[in-house]
Amino acid sequence: MGIFDKLFRKDNAEKRARRQWEEMWRLWSEGALPSPYQELLTYDSEVQDGGHLQFFLNTEIRKTNMFAMMAQLKEVLPEDHAENVSAAYRAYLKLGIDIDDDNSIAEALEEAPLRTYDGFYSEHEEELLDLLEAYAATI
C-alpha cells in the first residue's frame, strides 16, 4: 500500500459512511426505508425533537397502526429500549389527552409527563445511533 492510500483511506471511508447515512435519511423522508428501520428512524427523530409525547401525538404517526409501529420497534430495538417505549406508550394512554383539543395537547407538552422515558432514551441514545449506523453501512 502506498503512502497516498494510507493518508486518504480513512477519509474515503468517512465520506462513504456519510453518503450512506445521507441516503438512509433520504429514503426515510420518502417513506421508502424498509421496516423496521423506517419506524426506528421515525421514532428516533420524533423523540429527539420533542420526546415520547411528541412521538405519540404526531398526527402522521396517529394515522398509522400504532400496534404495528410498536411491533416493528420491538423487533429492532434492544430489549431495554423496547421496554422503555412500551412503558411510555402505556403511560401516554393513561394520560387521556384529548387529541382534538389544542389546549389539552399544549398542557400535556408543557407538563412533560413522559420525561422519565425521555431520560432513559437520552441516557442510552448512543445504542440507537449504533443501530442506525450499522444499518446505514448496508445501504
Tens digit of each residue's pLDDT (9 = 90 or more) over 35-46: 999 999 999 999
pLDDT of residue 52: 96
- Cell of residue 78, nine digits: 434492544
Residue 113 — pLDDT band, cuts 50, 70, 90? very high
Q: Over 80: is that where the pLDDT of 10 sits?
A: no
CA atoms within 13 A on the CB side of 33: 23
Helix segments in 30-124, DSSP class H: 37-57, 59-63, 66-76, 79-95, 102-111, 115-123
Tens of pLDDT, residues 52-104: 999 999 878 877 888 899 999 999 999 999 999 999 999 999 998 998 898 98
- Do the Cβ atoms of 43 and 129 come closer than 8 Å? no
Question: What are the sequence ranges of the domains in the chain?
Answer: 29-136
